Chains A and B, each alone.
Chain A
Amino acid sequence: MATVSLTVNGQPVTADVDPRTLLVQFLRENLRLTGTHVGCDTSQCGACVVHLNGEAVKACTVLAVQADASVVTTIEGLANGSELHPMQAAFREHHGLQCGYCTPGMIMAAVDMVNRKGSALDEHTIRAELEGNLCRCTGYHNIVKAVAAGAQAMAQAPVRQAAE
């Protein structure tokens, strides 16, 4: 067993884990943060995207021990209390989800996209940047609209963005 200490959604966490434990397993099974999903076993689908030290990672491709001393944000930590993050609100407003399974990863990837690329995202950029996230329900049409709108909204809510 190995000991890991990290901060998840603002809370300090320490645990003993089997060294082969993936970060996504640690989040789902140890911390019961089941909003982060597992959709494949080849790092292709992006359902498990979380933020590790402020950057999007696929939590199925990071060992829990690699996240030692890190700061992790999951979908559960994105909203400000009962107030949705602008990207969450945009997915709801633009029907950017159906079954909801890919949604946490999509939203976490989209927030990261805005952090890296800014808030003026055209359709081509959004589609290219969603390369790492699969959705089987929406045909991406409304996800693209949601990301564009969420990016605009994030620009108008700089306080929330800085707070993450």
Chain B
Amino acid sequence: MTATGIGAPVRRKEDQRFVTGQGRYVDDFNRPGQAHAYFLRSPHAHANIRSINTLAARAMPGVVGIFTGEDLAADGIGGLICGWMIHSKDGTPMKAGAHPALAQGKVRYVGDHVAVVIAETLAQAKDAAEAIEVDYEVLPAVVETASATKAATAVHDVAPDNTVFNWHLGNKEATDQAFAKAARVTTIELVNNRLVPNPMEPRAALGEYDLGSDNYTLYTTSQNPHVARLVLSAFIGVAPEHKLRVIAPDVGGGFGSKIFIYAEETVCVWAAKKVRRPVKWTSDRTEAFLADAHGRDHVTKAEMAMDEDGKILGFRVHTIANLGAYLSTFSSSVPTYLYAPLLSGQYDIPAIYCEVDAVYTNTAPVDAYRGAGRPEATFVVERIVEKAAREIGMDPAKFRKKNYIKNFPHQTPVIMTYDAGDYHASMNKALEVADYKNFGKRKRESARNGKLRGIGFSSYIEACGIAPSQAVGSLGAGVGLWESAEVRVNPTGSVEVLTGSHSHGQGHETTFAQLVSDRLGVPIDNVSIVHGDTDKVQFGMGTYGSRSGAVGMSAIAKALDKVIAKGKKVAAYVLEASEGDIEFKDGKFTVAGTDKSLDFASTALQAYIAHKFSGQDLEPGLKEGAFYDPTNFTFPAGVHICEVEIDPDTGVTRIERWTAVDDFGVIINPMIVEGQVHGGIAQGVGQALLEGTVYDKNGQLVTASYNDYCMPRAHDLPSFQVGMTVTPCPSNPLGIKGCGEAGAIAAPAAVINAITDALGHEDIAMPATPQNVWRAAQRNAMPMAAE
């Protein structure tokens, strides 16, 4: 390992600009003549729009234009799309209701887009929006996930009982048979609470139209600018693909919420042409709560069948998934193919059957949020496994080990073929780091102080490196999920890498440069990573699903192989040797068995001056591209152990210890990987202890600000013990599995298993706020006292 190569904790190249205030996020861009957009949003969860009167508003100072859904329709602008087709059990396609960027006749959630006001200043736009008169016919709202199909009103006419689809996966008959012969059955009912992603940078869009060239430019907070361009052009029809440039510059966190193509960027690009001015919109935090796609929101009943000895025989799951008022870009894939295929966890389970009923409600659309389906699966699996172990009276670590998959590759009954792993190794290391053997002592010590101590495990698995195009295509995806890369070597030997991945906190400018430095032997400072601009990078699928290492870097590795192969040809001419005799090692092309060599920079120069091979078959230049389509998902897995202490008098839960042992395969930069784990755990702890999205019975979002929605703060969290085990991933050339979502996937079950262990009963919902925990602790105050 070199100081800047694969495996080195290289300090991040991008940090210089971020720590000095020189990062450039969308809202930091200002274009000449720019006007400001403000969206008038629905104050009602469900209402027909009888009329919109903009006359008074148009007369307000500074107003440049006011547009409604009628104007979009008149220009032939299509609705927002959902790019993943799910079919119900009976073969019928999902019931996708129309999703206009500005409401057409009806609003379906508080925050839905009614009109856009464009004015000289944002304050003027807001003032004018106040003057728009909308005549609403308020309708009853459908709010609750569990009862949505029984509601008296339909969110969309195409789905009269609010059912989007009734989907299933697995073998029902085999699973029923497993339950029929089971000696023991454990049952659990769970709610996976709705979350608001809350990247610290709110979404923003700046649309621009150039009359002379007929070109459009959109600066947007996107995790996948090429996908945004494709959807905006091919489906929504805002501008032709070759005329639309999408720029996603520095983006301040995404966590899934910036994958999707929203109403606001659609309107900003379109309106820029209408008003012949650049149009800028920046979300405020309240708008982010109202209109960013939310995450999770499942109601689940699960049953696990076991034999006398605690060997799992079968697993049956029924989930109701709330998709909100409209189908967001990838919403339908989250509670289906990103969820049920993970229900085997790390366990050898012969039969699994899962049914998912997806429903519409008058709430914000729900889509992928860090982990996307896999946290929901892990929560079900790891909660029921813990409960089963407790019911049997077996140590939960022992129960897990008894049921772990031991041989790879392993075909689960729910699609996935796990390629590599060593689950015992992760568990053993985690038990040691967590000092599990002395937990009893610590629990007794807490009890002496009047506190309840508990320990909880989460043996999570995820499917990352998303994903083999053919596989996802067969499951309903409208796109392939490969990645692209182009490596441009300059005549001086410096290197520019254009990647279809997008960095919004992951540190690609550093880790991708480490790969290049490692392979080509060039100093890391001589490598630039270019991303986030459709005019520079030809195409790419973007960053989500922990795919940028496993898929994005694999594409770069492939392109680097081609660069080296071309370099060998160049060196062969220069060194007057046959190509087959040229070796590339330590940044030098060498004639095997001799001391004749050409360093990388000299080779690059020779490639461009072409003096030595002019007129031959070899083309000048040193630039290679590659598309990499993965052969399988990757399967990061590990064990997180959470130890909590609860004060039964206040209900406050303190996390005393957090142990994470993860297997991410080969690691490029351990510093960055550990940082990803920390952040993931924090979001998972947030879900488990603090974050709850509350709509009242009328569909008003009660938790629409940081005063009401409890984000994890520094004093809510401990420092984390993070360790690794490594089984290289055999499914990609770098052996990478991915690390971005693990913490958020593992953490909620670990926390709740620890709390239920401390309480001595299973009855606690997320978020386990002090109030909820206090109530739960009071309920068993007597038995605890008697213990």
Contact = CB atoms under 8 A, between A and B. Distances in A.
B504 interface: yes
Interface string A28-60: 100011111111111011010000000000000
Contacts of A103: 18-19
B707 A98 contact: no
A118 interface: no
B450 interface: no
Contacts, number: 179
Contacts of A35: 20-23
B285 A98 contact: no
Interface string A58-69: 000000000000
Nearest to B722: A141
Given A40-B285, A91-B15, A136 B720 contact: no
Interface string A70-106: 0000111011000010001101110101111111100
A140 interface: yes
A99 B504 contact: yes
B707 A84 contact: no
Contact of A20 (B123, B199, B705): B123
A15 interface: no
Contacts of B717: 127, 139-141
Contact of A101 (B12, B14, B25, B720): B25
Interface of A: 18, 20, 28, 32-42, 44-45, 47, 74-76, 78-79, 84, 88-89, 91-93, 95, 97-104, 107, 123, 126-128, 130-131, 133-144
- Label chain A's interface by main secondary structure: loop
A92 B720 contact: no
Given A75-B20, A99-B200, A134 B706 contact: yes
19 contacts: A33-B21, A34-B21, A34-B24, A41-B285, A74-B21, A84-B20, A89-B19, A95-B12, A95-B671, A95-B674, A100-B250, A101-B201, A104-B21, A130-B714, A131-B715, A133-B714, A136-B199, A136-B711, A140-B713
Contacts of B504: 99
B679 interface: yes
Interface string B703-731: 00111000111110101100000000000
A89 B18 CA distance: 11
A79 B19 CA distance: 9
Nearest to A108: B21
B632 interface: no
B16 interface: yes
Interface of B: 11-12, 14-25, 27-28, 30, 123, 198-202, 250-253, 255, 282, 284-286, 504-507, 671-672, 674-675, 678-683, 705-707, 711-715, 717, 719-720, 743
A141 B720 contact: yes
A41 B282 CA distance: 12
A141 B253 CA distance: 17
Contact of B200 (A28, A127, A128, A135): A135
B507 A98 contact: yes
B679 A128 contact: no
A137 B503 CA distance: 13
A84 B250 CA distance: 21
B705 A75 contact: no
Given A41-B286, A92-B16, A127-B715, A141 B250 contact: no
Contacts of A41: 284-286, 705
Nearest to B198: A136
Contacts of B678: 138-142
A146 to B, nearest CB: 10
A98 B18 CA distance: 9
B705 A88 contact: no
Contacts of A40: 284-285, 705-706
Contacts of A100: 14-15, 17-19, 23, 250, 252, 505
Contacts of A107: 19
Given A42-B705, A100-B14, A100-B505, A92 B19 contact: yes
B21 A44 contact: no
Contact of A141 (B706, B707, B711, B719): B719
A135 B682 CA distance: 10
Of all A-B residue pairs in the complex, the 6 with the closest CB atoms, nearest first, are A35-B21, A101-B252, A100-B18, A139-B682, A99-B505, A44-B706
Contacts of A78: 20
Contacts of A123: 719
Contact of B706 (A33, A45, A79, A138): A45
